[in-house]
């Protein structure tokens, strides 16, 4: 019997990717030999591949993917063969007029599920999992989970040991994609001082949207260790190895919870 092949198209940032992880895990529980390919922004999709949740990864920015948003696009034979090789294509792209789904079918997809990326009533993970109900997969309540390979966890442990040689480490992420969602920075600085007084080893972690916050922390606590500008795979390794994490409502916090 042929192993099923699934293609998932997903936009959005880090947090959006994390809450979609159960969609990749659920088919594998039903079809362990299934092939899953993801089209997304690669810096986020590489986390799913690191965790063994997907087999293939393509960039949402590629010209061949942009064709699916066009009116009456021309698909070459290679793209038609590729799309038609999948048993099911699930699109979580924001496309209210249905163009993407229509073009996927025109390119040869035998079955297409177009599922809105906008979450309005329930937990985001349950919203995205409901796209699989067509396959008789009903798995609401599954928390997003990511497991990094042992070698990556060891890499994270080594990095934390260098930053917090006295241990145990406390990773503090005081930023997010929206300053309006952030706990006041002064409170994080107080937390840093209290942790040090309690013989903890607090470390500040900053993501790609946190440059201003990182500068403010460096000015207020110049001796505080910082983790900055690391690839997300390395951040995942650090979070997987870290015993405690505190942060705002952010993609990094979603990642920490999944780990």
What average pLDDT does this structure show over 126-144?
A: 93
pLDDT at residue 12 is higher than 80? yes
CB of 236 within 8 A of CB of 255?
Answer: yes
Residue-wise pLDDT tens digits, 154-169:
999 999 999 999 879 9
Residue-wise pLDDT tens digits, 39-58:
999 999 999 999 999 999 99
Q: Which two tokens stand for residue 3?
A: 């192993």
What pLDDT is stored for residue 1 in this prediction?
A: 58
pTM of the model: 0.92
Phi, psi of 239 (to 5 degrees): -65, -35
Residue 23 CA to residue 25 CA, distance in Å, equals 6
What pLDDT is stored for residue 89 in this prediction?
A: 97
Under DSSP, the state recorded for 117 is: S
Q: Which two tokens stand for residue 148?
A: 């990094």
Of all residues in the chain, the percent with pLDDT exceeding 90 is 83
What pLDDT is stored for residue 63 in this prediction?
A: 84
What average pLDDT does this structure show over 225-233?
A: 94
Instruction: List the single range of 29-33, 205-209, 245-249 with lowest mean pLDDT.
Output: 205-209
**Local confidence band at 259 (pLDDT 50, 70, 90 cut-offs):** very high
pLDDT at residue 151 is higher than 70? yes
What pLDDT is stored for residue 108 in this prediction?
A: 96
Q: Which two tokens stand for residue 13?
A: 């940032």
What pLDDT is stored for residue 243 in this prediction?
A: 87
What pLDDT is stored for residue 56 in this prediction?
A: 97
CA 19 to chain centre: 7
What average pLDDT does this structure show over 171-187?
A: 93
CB of 6 within 8 A of CB of 87?
Answer: yes
Residue written as token pair 């960039």: 59
What pLDDT is stored for residue 95 in this prediction?
A: 84
Residue-wise pLDDT tens digits, 70-80:
888 889 999 99
- Average confidence score pLDDT of the chain: 94
Q: Shortest CA distance to 257 belongs to which of 41, 244, 139?
A: 244
Phi, psi of 113 (to 5 degrees): -110, 120
> What strand order describes the sheet that includes 169-173?
226-227, 201-205, 169-173, 244-247
What average pLDDT does this structure show over 14-19?
A: 96
Residue 105 CA to residue 83 CA, distance in Å, equals 9
> What strand order describes the sheet that includes 88-91?
56-59, 35-40, 5-9, 88-91, 112-114
Cβ burial of 15 (10 Å; 0-12, 13-18, 19+) is buried
């Amino acid at each position: 019997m042929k192993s099923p092949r699934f293609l998932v198209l997903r936009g959005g940032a880090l947090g959006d990717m994390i809450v979609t992880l159960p969609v990749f895990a659920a088919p594998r529980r039903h079809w362990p030999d299934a092939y899953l390919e993801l089209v997304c922004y690669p810096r986020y999709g590489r986390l799913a591949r690191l965790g063994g949740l997907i087999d293939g990864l393509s960039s949402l920015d590629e010209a061949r993917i942009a064709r699916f948003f066009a009116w009456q696009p021309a698909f070459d034979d290679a793209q038609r063969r590729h799309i038609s090789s999948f048993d099911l294509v699930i699109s979580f792209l924001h496309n209210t007029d249905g163009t993407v789904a229509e073009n996927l079918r025109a390119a040869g997809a035998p079955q297409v599920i177009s599922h809105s990326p906008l979450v309005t009533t329930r937990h985001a993970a349950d919203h995205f999992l409901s796209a699989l109900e067509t396959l008789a997969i009903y798995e609401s309540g599954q928390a997003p989970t990511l497991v990094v390979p042992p070698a990556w966890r060891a890499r994270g442990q080594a990095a934390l040991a260098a930053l917090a040689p006295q241990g145990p480490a406390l990773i503090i992420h005081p930023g997010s994609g929206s300053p309006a969602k952030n706990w006041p920075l002064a409170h994080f600085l107080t937390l840093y001082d209290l942790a040090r007084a309690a013989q903890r080893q607090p470390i500040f972690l900053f993501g790609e949207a946190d440059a201003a916050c990182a500068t403010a922390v460096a000015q207020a606590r110049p001796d505080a260790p910082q983790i900055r500008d690391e690839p997300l795979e390395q951040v995942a390794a650090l979070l997987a190895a870290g015993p405690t994490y505190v942060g705002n409502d952010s993609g990094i916090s979603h990642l920490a919870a999944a780990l």
